[in-house]
């Protein structure tokens, strides 16, 4: 594949924003300058630099790379470069409407200064309290508390429901609106009204700088480890290995992918290769020409333990690649609820005006070529969480699944 950044861009920002953790986002990432290597091989960068023709650049990226290129009328290909921009603007009026014409939720155009994906995939310092929460059925529920964070120190727990933030009710709010209320400058205080079971609790938490990692580990009963993978950021493999080394001698391992909406392809492949035997297939993908190709594990199988992958509806994209490969190639048992079903990959480009363009270039499949798009991965052990759940019954089920695998090994 082309030597470009490949990310799995997920439409549901509510789950990708776990990296912000109800925290204030840092400054926008510096946009790299356009270079000849950013352009398709058959197009000269001299046609673009300084001419502010981003819609023409977008057109060429779509024609060269997009699996939806056939949706662009063929008549544009008959035009000269000098007339192409006027024709595109006449038909579509803007890049945004041009992108919408492809009818793909994952093909995205983000104006200069609005692309936060790199900031989220890089392990950066944010100001906040350190929680992951989901918002559904009009309820904001805390799903994870970052170890060592102000939220953990203050006593927030899994299953706590956020009712009010600074005297403002969050009922009916969106995830982004709730995050905007919770996040803020370091050193300032946010007051949360929490419902824990039938108890109403109040927490005054001082926001602090947070260097958020991709992975966190903890020991569970029975010498079973658990590693929470927040996302597949650029340092995910290194963060995972660091988390793994903090655990004691293990009989088995739970890999918690709940809320993990994906990330960067190479990180996902590197991490998956820690579990899948060398030479075994990690994933298949079908390019814009319909040609099936695959990625195999290398070096492969550095960790060989009884495994459970913990998944939910917000586990998507790279998380589905990881889970599918471990289920089919490393004997892992899937626990939780069906994954989102985001089975396409995007290539990331910067246009000459600094805007970001995410182009869908392929569809991916599990090692046995099972479809992920629109289908997701169904767990062997189906376990859901009620909105008022204060105990992590999904994690408990995953722990039991690993213990059963350990017992089978002893029997044999």
Q: Which residues contact 306 (CB under 8 A, 6 or more apart)?
A: 251, 252, 253, 331, 402, 405, 406, 409
Q: What angle do CA 347, 351, 353 make, to 5 degrees?
A: 155
The CATH number of the domain where 333 resides is what?
A: 3.90.226.10
Answer whether residue 351 is part of any domain.
no
Together in a domain, 237 and 317? yes
Together in a domain, 45 and 158? no
Among 227, 181, 241, 168, which Cα is nearest to 207's? 181
Answer whether residue 155 is part of any domain.
yes
Residue after which a domain boundary falls, among 70, 88, 119:
119
Residue after which a domain boundary falls, among 211, 244, 271:
211
Answer whether residue 353 is part of any domain.
no
Burial class (CB in 10 A: 0-12, 13-18, 19+), 345: buried
Together in a domain, 164 and 237? no
Query: pLDDT by residue (tens digit) across 197-242?
Result: 999 999 999 999 998 899 999 999 999 999 999 999 999 999 999 9
Together in a domain, 247 and 394? yes
Contact 343, 365 (CB under 8 A): yes
Together in a domain, 144 and 245? no
Domain that holds residue 264: 215-346+361-411
Contact 353, 305 (CB under 8 A): no
Report the largest interatomic distance among the alpha carbons of the chain, rounded to a whole angstrom: 73
Give the integer Cα–Cα distance in Å for 57 and 34. 11
Together in a domain, 245 and 101? no
Together in a domain, 221 and 323? yes
Answer whether residue 111 is part of any domain.
yes
Together in a domain, 52 and 111? yes
- Residue 11 token pair: 């439409």
Contact 310, 336 (CB under 8 A): yes
HSE at residue 312, side-chain half, CA atoms within 13 A, is 20
pLDDT for position 174: 86
Together in a domain, 15 and 66? yes
pLDDT for position 365: 98
Among 342, 345, 326, 343, which Cα is nearest to 334's? 326
Give the integer Cα–Cα distance in Å for 85 and 88. 5
pLDDT along the chain (412 residues), means of 10: 42 33 33 29 38 84 96 95 93 95 95 84 84 87 95 97 96 88 95 95 97 95 97 95 95 97 94 95 96 92 93 96 98 98 95 94 98 97 90 97 92 61
Answer whether residue 203 is part of any domain.
yes
The CATH number of the domain where 144 resides is what?
A: 2.30.42.10
Give the integer Cα–Cα distance in Å for 252 and 245. 14
Answer whether residue 393 is part of any domain.
yes
Together in a domain, 262 and 135? no
pLDDT for position 45: 38
pLDDT for position 412: 54
Contact 124, 26 (CB under 8 A): yes
Q: What is the number of structural domains in the chain? A: 3
Together in a domain, 274 and 166? no
Contact 382, 397 (CB under 8 A): no
Place of tokens 């989102």: 340
Together in a domain, 269 and 384? yes
Give the integer Cα–Cα distance in Å for 228 and 143. 11
Among 156, 140, 154, 160, which Cα is nearest to 189's? 154
Answer whether residue 66 is part of any domain.
yes
Among 163, 174, 229, 171, which Cα is nearest to 201's? 163
- Is the pTM value of this prediction over 0.85? yes
Q: Supply φ then ψ for residue 368, to 5 degrees.
A: -95, 20
Which H or E run contains 252? strand 252-256
Residue after which a domain boundary falls, among 83, 100, 119:
119
- Residue 14 token pair: 């509510």
β partners of residue 24:
127
Answer whether residue 356 is part of any domain.
no
Give the integer Cα–Cα distance in Å for 335 and 282. 20
């Amino acid at each position: 594949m082309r030597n470009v950044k490949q990310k799995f861009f997920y439409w549901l920002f509510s789950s990708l924003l776990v990296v912000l953790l109800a925290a204030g986002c840092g400054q926008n990432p510096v946009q790299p300058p356009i270079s000849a290597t950013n352009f398709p091989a058959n197009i000269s960068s001299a046609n673009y630099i300084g001419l502010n023709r981003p819609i023409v650049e977008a057109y060429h990226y779509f024609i060269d790379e997009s699996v939806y290129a056939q949706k662009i009328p063929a008549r544009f290909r008959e035009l000269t470069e000098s007339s192409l921009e006027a024709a595109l603007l006449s038909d579509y009026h803007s890049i945004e409407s041009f992108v919408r014409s492809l009818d793909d939720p994952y093909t995205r155009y983000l104006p200069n200064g609005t692309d936060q994906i790199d900031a989220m995939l890089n392990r950066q310092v944010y100001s906040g309290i350190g929680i992951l929460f989901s918002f559904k059925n009009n309820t904001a529920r805390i799903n994870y508390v970052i170890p060592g964070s102000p939220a953990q120190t203050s006593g927030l727990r899994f299953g706590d429901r956020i009712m009010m933030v600074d005297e403002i009710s969050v009922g009916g709010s969106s995830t982004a609106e709730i995050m905007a209320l919770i996040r803020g400058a370091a050193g300032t205080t946010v007051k949360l009204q929490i419902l824990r079971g039938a108890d109403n609790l109040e927490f005054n938490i001082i926001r602090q700088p947070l260097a958020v990692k991709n992975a966190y580990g903890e020991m569970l009963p029975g010498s079973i480890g658990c590693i929470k993978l927040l996302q597949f950021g650029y340092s995910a493999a290194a963060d995972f290995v660091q988390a793994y080394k903090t655990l004691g001698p293990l009989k088995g391992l739970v890999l918690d992918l709940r809320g993990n909406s994906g990330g960067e392809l190479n990180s996902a492949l590197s991490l998956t290769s820690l579990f899948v035997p060398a030479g075994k297939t990690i994933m298949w993908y079908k390019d814009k020409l319909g040609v099936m190709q695959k990625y195999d594990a290398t070096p492969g199988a550095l960790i060989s333990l009884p495994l459970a992958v913990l998944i939910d509806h917000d586990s998507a994209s790279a998380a589905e690649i990881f889970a599918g490969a471990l289920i089919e190639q490393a004997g892992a048992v899937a626990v939780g609820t069906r994954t989102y079903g985001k089975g396409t990959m995007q290539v990331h480009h910067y246009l000459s005006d600094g805007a970001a363009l995410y182009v869908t270039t392929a569809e991916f499949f599990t090692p046995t070529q099972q479809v992920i798009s629109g289908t997701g991965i169904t767990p062997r052990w189906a376990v859901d969480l009620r909105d008022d759940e204060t105990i992590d019954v999904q994690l408990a089920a995953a722990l039991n699944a690993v213990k059963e695998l350990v017992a089978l090994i002893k029997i044999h």
